[in-house]
Amino acid sequence: MKERCVHRVKGILRAMMLLLLALSVLPLGAVQAAWQPSLAIGLLEGQTTASLAVRQGAANLSLDEKVLRNLPRGTTLTVAVESGGFLVNGKRFSGKTLALKADKEKGEMIVSVNGRSYRGELRLVRHQGGFTVVNDIPAEAYVKSVLPSEMPPEWPAEAEKAQAIAARTFALANRGRHQADGFDLCATTHCQTYTGIAGERDASTAAVQATYGQVMTYQGRLVDAVFHTDSGGMTENSEDVWGSRIPYLRAASEMQTATKPWHREWTLEAFSAKLAAKGTIGTLKRIKLSPLQIGKRADDRASSGRVKSVTFVGTRGTLRLSGNELRSLFQLDSTLFSLRIEGNRVLATGYGAGHGLGLSQWGAKAYAEKGTKAQAILTHYYQGVEMKQLYKE
């Protein structure tokens, strides 16, 4: 009887392992999970010291998965990197990873790093003479912090919900973006702005809870749900920004055009000096760029009217630059602009803010104010996508 039970347990374990293996090779968006995914967020890199504290609940301090001791609420630690390990409150420990893991019997744990509080758990991983601080956090708690940083919480609820779904989808689709650094996503605008508990707001949290576990998929896979501040009047096709065609990132019209106007100007001398970083043309004499018409394509403009390329003619040569190169070189708000010489000055007049792909946040606000629901907003900006319940509470 005992032998039969052992065989049965082994069979069950083997079946579970095979199931996990099968799930691991499927695209994330193709499976509805019963559990909430966790994200590893890189908070700090290249640190040599850090101050840690248990603000709520209790933590188990572990080194390379071995529990050292329990830390009750109110415990503070001063951690420094040490050759081959860490110095914790003056005591040496040899190992690679120091972690604060939740003592689940004491409820939710909240910990702080250098005074900033976070939900989830912490890892300090030694790397190249310092350590990286990683926050392992459930996806929903992560989005609660991200959403108010990406969209003002006082905006219409349907816009907030749309942004919550986009932020969640982006995070889960881009897990492993910083794999080489030892975590999934960074805490800056390179991924999404994440500030821990300090970033949370009640209205934003309500939008996250209302869309719990909801994501966007295209042909069964999570979409790369990029978004930007304002399109200026029309979003863009991916190939005209990134050079590669993504079927759900298509140019989409807006309720309003010529939004978020901006203006920049330079002396002819200063502008020519900037161009010199890309090629020698001498003093700028002429700019070849067709007139800006929002929603109108030209040889040197994309579907939305964004600049694809500009040709500069100078006293010593000619230079052609892409709109993205110019945006980076001159720190422009967008590539939806006109550019001209007037006397001894170069003038740029443009609209919008950001790369112009996917969700336009100000556009979403305008649609929400007219009564458009979150899912309709999203399917407008991400064409052909499906809404999926990836996991449930």
**pLDDT, the chain, mean:** 92
Give the chain's largest Cα–Cα span.
96
Q: What is the pLDDT of residue 217?
A: 98
Q: Which of residues 146 and 19 earns the better pLDDT score?
A: 146
Overall average pLDDT of the 318-329 stretch: 97
Q: What does the pLDDT read at residue 257?
A: 96
pLDDT-derived band at 179 (thresholds 50, 70, 90) equals: very high
Q: Which residues of 134-159 are buried (b: 16+ CB within 10 A; e: fewer)?
A: bbbbebbbbbbbbbbbbbebebbebb
Q: How confident is the model at residue 8 (pLDDT cuts 50, 70, 90)?
A: very low
CA distances from 25 to 19, 21, 385 (A): 10, 7, 22
Instruction: State pLDDT tens for residues 183-237.
Output: 999 999 999 999 999 999 999 999 999 999 999 999 999 999 999 999 999 999 9
Q: What are the backbone angles phi and psi of residue 130, rounded to the nearest 5°?
A: -140, -155
Q: Looking at the predicted structure, is the pLDDT value of residue 27 above 70?
A: no
Supply the pLDDT for residue 73.
97
Written as one string, the DSSP assignment of 90-106 is TEEEE-SEEEEEE-GGG
- From residue 191, give the alpha-carbon distance in Å to each of 99, 146, 155: 24, 10, 22
pLDDT confidence band for 11 (50 / 70 / 90) = very low
Q: Where are the alpha helices (DSSP H) in the chain?
A: 2-24, 139-150, 157-173, 202-210, 268-275, 323-330, 361-369, 374-381
What's the whole-number mean pLDDT along residues 307-311?
A: 98
- Please give the pLDDT value at position 34: 57
Q: Give CA 255 to chain center in angstroms.
A: 26
pLDDT at residue 29 greater than cutoff 80: no
**Would you state the pLDDT for residue 229?**
98
Q: Which residues contact 329 (CB under 8 A, 6 or more apart)?
A: 274, 275, 277, 278, 321
> For residue 118, what are the contacts with CB-CB under 8 A and spacing of at least 6?
43, 110, 111, 112, 135, 137, 196, 197
Of residues 28 and 79, the one with the higher pLDDT is 79
Q: Decide if pLDDT at 101 tops 60.
A: yes
Report d(CA 182, CA 197) in Å as an integer.
23
Task: Name the phi and psi angles at 269, rounded to 5.
Answer: -65, -45
The DSSP result for 272-308, as a single string, is HHHHTTT----SEEEEE-PPP-TT--BTTB-TTS-BS
The encoded tokens of residue 162 equal 């749309």
Q: What is the pLDDT of residue 350?
A: 98
The rounded percent of the chain whose pLDDT value lies above 90 is 90
pLDDT tier for residue 271 given thresholds of 50, 70 and 90: very high
pLDDT above 60 (res 12)? no
Span 122-151, average pLDDT: 97
Strands 97-102 and 91-94: unpaired
Question: What's the mean pLDDT in 136-141?
Answer: 98
According to DSSP, the β-strands at 185-186 and 38-47 are parallel
Which pLDDT value is given to residue 393?
86
Task: Write down the pLDDT at residue 6.
Answer: 34
Q: Which residues contact 104 (CB under 8 A, 6 or more apart)?
A: none
Count, residues in the chain = 393
Q: How much is the pLDDT for 349?
A: 98
Instruction: Give the pLDDT confidence score for residue 32 in this predicted structure.
Output: 54
361 versus 7: the higher-pLDDT residue is: 361
* Residue 33 pLDDT level (bands cut at 50, 70, 90): low
Confidence at 22, pLDDT banded by 50, 70, 90 = very low
C-alpha–C-alpha distance, residues 362 and 259, integer Å: 9
Burial class (CB in 10 A: 0-12, 13-18, 19+), 89: exposed
Mean pLDDT of the 270-287 span:
94
Instruction: Give the pTM.
Output: 0.89
